[in-house]
Amino acid sequence: MTGQRLVLVVEDSADDREAIERALRASHPDLLVEFVADGADGLARLRDTGRPRPALVLLDLNMPGTDGYTVLSRLRAEPAAAELTVVVFTSSTASSDIDRCYAAGADSYIYKPVDFTLFRTVLQGAVDYWLEQDRDHEKPEGPLPPG
């Protein structure tokens, strides 16, 4: 992938979006981070042929309307999204949520710590790991086809 790396964050909480932005700006200042506030907008963004495809999607689980499960299931049903890295980044620690996300095709499931220092550390580790995986397994650039 050439140029700036893009992370798409699908998150309904303004407070969590701000925390993610602060954490990633500190740990990955060269990373391009784009936010959408709900699952429907996330799916629309990923299908927008005029926009670059992200190297990583951070997906909140519990959102009103189109929730994270639905986004994940719909993405994984599209062949063009098979290689898209999706990390569920959520406040839920329920084992049923974890199992359901992995069954739906999540690449990783990460709990959002309340403590900001730990939040930043966990987020940095996840982004470092998955962007390195993306770099090692170059994926096709471009958005998902409409669908």
pLDDT, tens digit, 9 for 90 and up, residues 15-25: 999 999 999 99
Residue whose C-alpha is closest to residue 3's, from 31, 28, 23: 31
Q: How confident is residue 83, by pLDDT bands cut at 50, 70 and 90?
A: confident
Residue 42, φ and ψ in degrees, nearest 5? -65, -45
- Mutual orientation of helices 95-104 and 68-76 as an angle, nearest 10°? 20
Predicted TM-score (pTM) of this structure: 0.86
Cβ–Cβ under 8 Å, residues 82 and 61: no
SS3 breakdown of the chain: % helix, strand, coil, rounded to 5? Answer: 45, 15, 40
Average pLDDT, the chain: 89
Cβ–Cβ under 8 Å, residues 58 and 9: yes
Residues 6+ apart with CB under 8 A from 55: 1, 5, 6, 7, 85, 130, 131, 134, 139
Question: One-letter amino acid identity for 3?
Answer: G
